[in-house]
C-alpha cells in the first residue's frame, strides 16, 4: 500500500530488518579503522593535483547523497526501511570524512566539478518526487560510485586509498541493495506511462552528463575513445539495474542524440 507521495508505508520488512542489522554490525570509524599512518602513494603517471581533483568528486558525491538521505527521512514512516536510510545517512557522512582526511594529505578538497554539480542538482529534482530522486541516487549515483571506486582501486594502487575504498564499497553495495528492494515495490504503484517517463528522464540525465564529460575531456583521440567506451559501459550497467526495479522504456520512447 502506498501513501500519497508514492512511498509504500510497509515494504519487505524482513529484508529491511536484515539489511538494517548488517548496517548496524558494519559501522566503522573513519578515525580509528583506517591506518592513517600510511601516506598516500600515487603512481608516477598522475600528479597530486590530478588525483586530488578526481577523489574530491567522490567526497562531494558523498556529501550530496547524505543531504538527500536527510531529506528523504522526512518522507519515511518509522520501521526497518527508515532504519536502513538512517544508517545510510551516517555511512555517507563517514565516507565524506574519510575522503576529506585523505585529501588533506594531497592539499585539501578541490572544488566540485561543474558537470557533477549539474548532475547532482538535476538528480534531486526529477519526476515522481522522492521516488525519482531515489532512483537517480540509489541506482545511478550509488552504482556509479562503485564503478569509479573499482577503477580508482585498479588505476591508483595506493594502499591507503584502497583501504578506504574497500570499506566504502561494502556500505555502498548495501545502499544499492536497499534502493533496489524498496524501489521495486514502490515503483509498481506507478502507471506504466509514469514508469516509462521516469526511465526516459534517468536516461536523459545520464546522456547529458556524459556529453558534458566528453566535451570537457582533453587529451588524444585514444583517450576520448576510452572515456566514451567507459561511459557507454556505465549506461549498460545502469540500464540493467533499472530493468530490475521495473523501469523500462515505453514503445514510443526514443534515444535521439
Per-residue pLDDT of the chain (257 residues; tens, 9 = 90+): 344 344 554 456 689 999 999 999 999 999 999 999 999 998 888 889 988 988 898 899 899 999 999 999 998 999 999 999 999 999 999 999 999 999 999 999 999 888 778 888 888 877 888 889 898 887 777 777 777 777 777 778 899 999 999 999 899 889 989 999 999 999 998 999 899 999 989 888 887 776 655 554 444 454 455 556 656 666 787 888 899 999 988 766 554 43
The whole-number pLDDT of residue 28 equals: 97
pLDDT tens-digit map of 24-76: 999 999 999 999 999 999 888 888 998 898 889 889 989 999 999 999 999 89
Compute the distance between CA of residue 6 and CA of residue 25 in angstroms, rounded to an integer.
Answer: 31
User: What pLDDT does residue 67 have?
Assistant: 93
Say how many CA atoms lie within 13 Å of 141 toward its Cβ: 32
Domain ranges of the chain: 13-191
Residue 31 dihedral angles phi and psi, to the nearest 5°: -80, -40
CA 46-52-53 angle, 5° bins = 95
Pairs from 206-209 (Cβ < 8 Å, separation ≥ 24): 206/140, 206/234, 206/235, 206/238, 207/255, 208/118, 208/122, 209/115, 209/118, 209/119
Q: Which residues contact 1 (CB under 8 A, 6 or more apart)?
A: 8, 9, 10
CATH of 13-191, one of 3.30.9.10, 3.40.1390.20, 1.20.140.10, 1.10.620.20: 1.10.620.20
Amino acid at each position: 500500500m502506498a501513501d500519497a507521495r508514492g512511498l509504500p508505508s510497509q515494504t519487505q520488512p524482513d529484508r529491511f530488518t536484515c539489511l538494517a542489522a548488517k548496517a548496524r554490525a558494519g559501522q566503522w570509524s573513519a578515525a580509528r579503522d583506517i591506518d592513517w599512518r600510511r601516506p598516500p602513494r600515487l603512481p608516477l603517471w598522475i600528479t597530486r593535483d590530478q588525483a586530488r581533483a578526481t577523489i574530491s568528486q567522490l567526497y562531494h558525491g558523498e556529501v550530496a547523497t547524505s543531504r538527500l538521505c536527510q531529506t528523504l527521512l522526512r518522507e519515511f514512516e518509522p520501521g526497518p526501511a527508515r532504519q536502513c536510510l538512517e544508517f545510510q545517512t551516517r555511512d555517507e557522512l563517514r565516507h565524506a570524512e574519510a575522503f576529506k582526511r585523505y585529501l588533506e594529505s594531497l592539499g585539501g578538497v578541490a572544488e566540485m566539478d561543474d558537470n557533477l554539480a549539474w548532475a547532482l542538482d538535476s538528480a534531486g529534482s526529477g519526476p515522481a518526487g522522492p521516488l525519482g530522486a531515489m532512483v537517480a541516487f540509489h541506482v545511478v549515483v550509488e552504482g556509479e560510485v562503485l564503478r569509479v571506486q573499482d577503477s580508482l582501486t585498479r588505476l591508483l594502487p595506493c594502499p591507503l586509498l584502497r583501504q578506504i575504498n574497500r570499506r566504502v564499497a561494502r556500505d555502498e553495495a548495501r545502499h544499492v541493495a536497499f534502493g533496489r528492494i524498496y524501489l521495486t515495490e514502490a515503483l509498481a504503484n506507478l502507471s506504466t506511462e509514469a514508469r516509462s517517463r521516469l526511465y526516459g528522464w534517468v536516461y536523459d540525465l545520464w546522456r547529458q552528463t556524459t556529453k558534458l564529460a566528453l566535451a570537457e575531456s582533453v587529451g588524444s583521440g585514444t583517450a576520448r575513445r576510452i572515456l566514451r567506451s567507459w561511459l557507454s559501459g556505465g549506461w549498460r550497467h545502469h540500464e540493467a539495474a533499472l530493468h530490475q526495479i521495473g523501469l523500462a522504456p515505453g514503445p514510443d520512447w526514443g534515444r535521439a542524440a
